[in-house]
Amino acid sequence: MTAVLACQGVRKVFGSSVVLDGLDLEVAEHEVVALIGASGSGKSTLLRCVNLLEELDDGTIHLDGSHITDPRVNPDLVRRKIGIVFQSYNLFPHLSVLDNITLAPVRVHKRSVSSARAQALELLTRIGLADKASAYPDRLSGGQQQRVAIVRALVNAPRLLLLDEVTSALDPELVGEVLDLISDLKRDGMTMVLATHEMNFARQVADRVCFLDGGRIVEQGPPSQVLDAPVEPRTQQFLRRLAPA
Amino acid sequence: MTRSDTAFTPSAVQLDRVAWRRRQTIRSILVAALSTAVLGALLVFAVTGAPGWDRVRQSFLDPSIAADALPDVLRGLWLNIRLLVFCALGSLGLGLVIALLRTLRGPVFFPVRALAVSYTYTFRGLPLIIVIYVLTLGVPGLRLQGMPSVLVLGGAALVLTYSGYLAEVFRAGIESVHPSQVAAARSLGLTYRQAMRHVVLPQAVRRVAPPLLNDTVALQKDVGLVSLAGPIDAVRAAQISTAEHFNYTPYIVAGVLFVLLAIPLIAVTDWVTLRAARRQAGR
């Protein structure tokens, strides 16, 4: 079976700093992969490259076996199969919650407004935000906005969901509701790649943890192995710094 | 968090603070009223007490001449209003199109971008009067078939000039929308065009509504310049009436009417600006 996502030798340079330096990563169907590592280790950049928001400087990325980093491929068609959720939510402030969610189904996937709305309401009900359907994003708490952003990505039924530090901008008491939603998605079999600073969350939800350093994956494996018994000195050092003093 | 306040009785300190603030407010109002009255009295005294006041009053503020000139000036003003509506809509539309052409990407669109840029440079630099002369005097000289009236040509000159300014206002609005909004839209599979239409433009137009309306207020005064080419607008009608009576009162009549016309537009601009500021503060 081909992997849902396959990155080979991915290189990305910003100015004089090499952010991704020949990175390899494969993600199987229904697998949840957590990317951990210090700020600037390239976690977010990798996700943006996969969603074709950044151009590669070398290497290839395949989605379901087809080469998506070929410049002749229409990026709009690729992005329809990939959902991404950002640290800063990036909801559209001029649209209501419901319109935020139904924009892509109606405009991109050409579905009828009524069926898109029905599906959006069903998803909102599932995450307990049906009463906010007609509210504007600035009336919602950070946790609520991020859950709406996740639903907005899900409504397109993506093959792959990318989560970029989705809890980093949230107050501690709001983190739980977002993490619960992601755990639900894992139960539903969603294939996900998430960049995170929350080691406990990585432990809970990830099938595999990858530690990034210097633009490569230095160490990877099941959470219990990478987080509790790291082999590489750099992983040990990173985790030691995170541990409460 | 919000508990009922019915059982709450303010402390003596709080009561004292409230009373002191109330006294301060009353004092402020009294001071403002007094200083306004003094300044007004001084102005009236200075103007009416001036040695030439009687002559000025006769030649600028003659009620009978004002009444005589009013119908003609009003007829001219009606032309101003119609021109304003058409020119405002025309330059808003053309300005938006030019701003959008400037945002197009890709090598195919290079000539379009270059044209849009040189358009805004040319028509923001060129004095309006020259554009009006070229269009209303020069273009009819070509003696082409189906030449529109001088009024239409003058309106076109206004639209050409003002859309240069409005295009830049629209562009500023488009650029003020954070790139992460485009990234979010594109990541959902929207094309560049769809992201522009459904995500960027609605936010951009809301943000630049106050400066757009401000330019419309300025346009209102400039529409009268088409009278240079012949059509009789309010200022031109006042000029004719002035020449008939050897008296400047018709100009004052026209001036008052222009201010009255501007008040609703300016009020709307202020209201929109205030609302935009409140929305931003609410973030």
Q: Mean pLDDT in chain B?
A: 88
Instruction: Give the closest-approach CA distance of A99 to chain B in angstroms.
Output: 11
State both tokens at B125. Answer: 């630099």
Residue A100 pLDDT: 94
Question: CA dist B72 to B67, B77, B251, Å?
Answer: 10, 9, 12
Rounded Cα–Cα distance for residues A195 and A191 (Å): 14
| pLDDT reading at B157 higher than 90 | yes
What pLDDT score was predicted for residue A244? 60
pLDDT band at B281 (very low <50, low <70, confident <90, very high): low
Domains in chain B, CATH or no CATH each: 64-278 (1.10.3720.10)
- Residue B153 is encoded by which pair of tokens? 């040509």
Q: Is the ipTM of this complex over 0.90?
A: no
- Measure the CA–CA gap between A91 and A11, rounded to whole angstroms: 30
User: What is the 3-state secondary structure of chain A?
Assistant: CCCCEEEEEEEEEECCEEEEEEEEEEECCCCEEEEECCCCCCHHHHHHHHCCCCCCCEEEEEECCEECCCCCCCHHHHHCCEEEECCCCCCCCCCCHHHHHHHHHHHCCCCCHHHHHHHHHHHHHHCCCHHHCCCCHHHCCHHHHHHHHHHHHHCCCCCEEEEECCCCCCCHHHHHHHHHHHHHHHHCCCCEEEECCCHHHHHHHCCEEEEEECCEEEEEECHHHHHHCCCCHHHHHHHHHHCCC
Interface test with A, best of B182, B188, B193, B203 (most A CBs within 10 A): B188
Distance from C-alpha of B206 to C-alpha of B213, rounded to nearest angstrom: 11
Chain B CB contacts of A88 below 8 Å: 180
- Phi/psi of residue A17, nearest 5 degrees: -105, 130
Give B3's pLDDT tier (boundaries 50, 70, 90): low
The whole-number average pLDDT for the span B257-278 is 83
The pLDDT value given to residue A245: 44
Rounded mean pLDDT, B2-6:
60
Which residue in B180, B189, B194 is closest to A88 by CB distance?
B180
Is the confidence at residue A179, as pLDDT, over 60? yes
B131 pLDDT band, cuts 50/70/90, is: very high
Q: Is A104–B189 a contact, with Cβ atoms under 8 angstroms apart?
A: yes
In 3-state terms, what secondary structure has residue B29?
helix
When pLDDT is cut at 50, 70 and 90, the band that residue B280 belongs to is low
Two tokens, residue B202: 């609605």
Separation between Cα atoms, residue B154 and residue B225, nearest integer Å: 8
Q: Tell me, what's the pLDDT at B2? A: 52
Render pLDDT for A197-237 as a digit per residue (tens, 0 to 9): 888 888 888 999 999 998 999 999 999 999 988 999 999 98
Question: Between these two residues, B3 and A112, which has the higher pLDDT value?
Answer: A112
Report pLDDT for B97.
95
> Over the stretch B223-254, which tens digit does the pLDDT of each residue have?
888 888 888 888 888 888 888 888 888 898 88
- Cα dihedral sign, A219-A222-A227-A231: negative
pLDDT at residue A127, rounded to an integer: 86
Confidence of residue B1 (pLDDT cuts 50, 70, 90): very low
Model pLDDT for residues A123-148, shown as the tens digit of each residue? 899 888 999 999 999 889 888 998 99
How far A36 CA lies from chain B's nearest CA (Å)?
Answer: 23
- Which of B188, B194, B206 lies at the smallest CB-CB distance from A156? B188
- Whether A92 and B188 lie within 8 Å, measured CB to CB: no
Lowest mean pLDDT among A201-210, B211-220, B258-267, B270-279: B270-279
pLDDT at A56: 92
Q: Which of residues 106-145 of A touch B (CB under 8 A)?
A: 107-109, 138
Q: How far apart are CA B29 and CA B37, in angstroms?
A: 12
Q: What is the pLDDT of residue B140?
A: 83
Query: Mean of the pLDDT values across residues A42-69?
Result: 92
Using the structure block, give the residue that is written with the tokens 């709001």.
Answer: A174
**Any A CB within 8 A of B176 CB:** no
Q: Is B10 helix (H, G, I), strand (E, B) or coil?
A: coil
Average pLDDT, integer, range B63-84: 87
In this complex, the residue of B185, B190, B203 whose CB is nearest that of residue A93 is: B203
What domains appear along chain A, each with residue ranges and CATH number? 5-94+142-242 (3.40.50.300)
Q: What is the mean pLDDT of residues B81-89?
A: 93
**What is the mean predicted confidence (pLDDT) over A44-72?**
92
Backbone conformation region of residue B14, classed left if phi is above 0, alpha if psi is from -120 to 50, else beta: alpha
Does the CB of B194 have a partner CB in chain A at under 8 Å?
A: yes
